[in-house]
Amino acid sequence: MRNNDIPGKDMGQFQTLVDIVERLRAPGGCPWDREQTHESLKRNLVEEAYETMEAIDEGSPQLLAEELGDLLVQVAFHSDIAREAGEFEVSDVLTHINRKLVRRHPHVFSDTSVQDAQEVERNWERIKAEEREAKGERQSVVDGLPRDLPALAYAQLIQDRAARSGFEWDEISGVLDKVSEEVEELRAAETPEERVHELGDLLFAMVNLARWLNIQAEDALRQGNRRFHWRYTKMEELASQRGQEFTQLSLDEKEELWQEAKVLEKG
């Protein structure tokens, strides 16, 4: 162990975090931390990523700084588990990502010229393809996305990749026509299997519309979920304040509460 007296160290250094995690997982450290594995921490990693996204949605710099720190803990934990197993060190993690960032940004670190962000993305995919080929890996541009991604995020990423290879509408009107077409096909579906199929196609087309509008579909739906939760609980609160049993109200009465909640939400 490099340093057991952590409280006296500079808390603004990444190496301090690495040392703290190593101390927690060392003999005589924290029993819970010592028991963790890559597999047991997967849930924590996902949870911290979503809490970071929530901090971004809330527009709180202080909360975002805190949540990014929690993400860094996950990096340090997995790196220390690997170090203990003789697999790699945290320096290998940093070396890998630093080299990748330099390699994939030749317009910044070399003499390559680009016209816009779209050309940067095309170069990024080209360099990735060259890296895969150098490793003897032959993959489609739509391969390699994490299988456990949320479905909306996966749909948007796979559409992004297809678009960069030229499989794209000429203008947004084609996207809107496709959404309308999928709505009609869903209306015409007769069996449960057909409805599942057509609803999937409609959702996929809606994600494409989000992409054309420069909106992350996953973020948009997550924010929509939060708005619904706030409005619904506000409806229940308003009903309770007025001595009403919310579940016994008519749909019209609930709609009135919904509209009132929307006004209150806007402040």
Q: Which has the closest alpha carbon to 57: 187, 177, 216?
A: 216
Give the 3-state secondary structure of residue 138.
Answer: coil
Phi-psi region of 60 (alpha: psi -120 to 50; beta: other; left: phi over 0): beta
Say how far apart CA 68 and CA 54 lie, in whole Å: 11
In this predicted structure, the answer to whether residue 191 has a pLDDT above a threshold of 70 is yes
Q: How many CB atoms lie within 10 A of CB 18?
A: 20
Q: pLDDT at position 60, please?
A: 93
140-215 has which fold?
Helix Hairpins (1.10.287)
Q: 42, 59 in Cβ contact below 8 A?
A: no
CATH of the domain spanning 7-102: 1.10.287.1080
In this predicted structure, the answer to whether residue 12 has a pLDDT above a threshold of 50 is yes
Domain residues of the chain, as ranges? 7-102, 111-139, 140-215, 218-265
List the structure tokens of 109. 């670190």
In this predicted structure, the answer to whether residue 2 has a pLDDT above a threshold of 70 is no
Model pTM score: 0.69
CA dihedral 27→31→35→40, nearest 10 degrees, is: -140
Give the 3-state secondary structure of residue 149.
Answer: coil
The alpha-carbon radius of gyration of the chain (Å, integer) is 25
List the structure tokens of 227. 């708005």
Q: pLDDT at position 134, please?
A: 79
Q: How confident is the model at residue 138 (pLDDT cuts 50, 70, 90)?
A: low
Q: How many CB atoms lie within 10 A of CB 124?
A: 13
In this predicted structure, the answer to whether residue 171 has a pLDDT above a threshold of 80 is yes
Q: Percentage of the chain surpassing pLDDT 90? A: 73
Higher pLDDT: 132 or 212? It is 212
Q: pLDDT at position 132, please?
A: 76
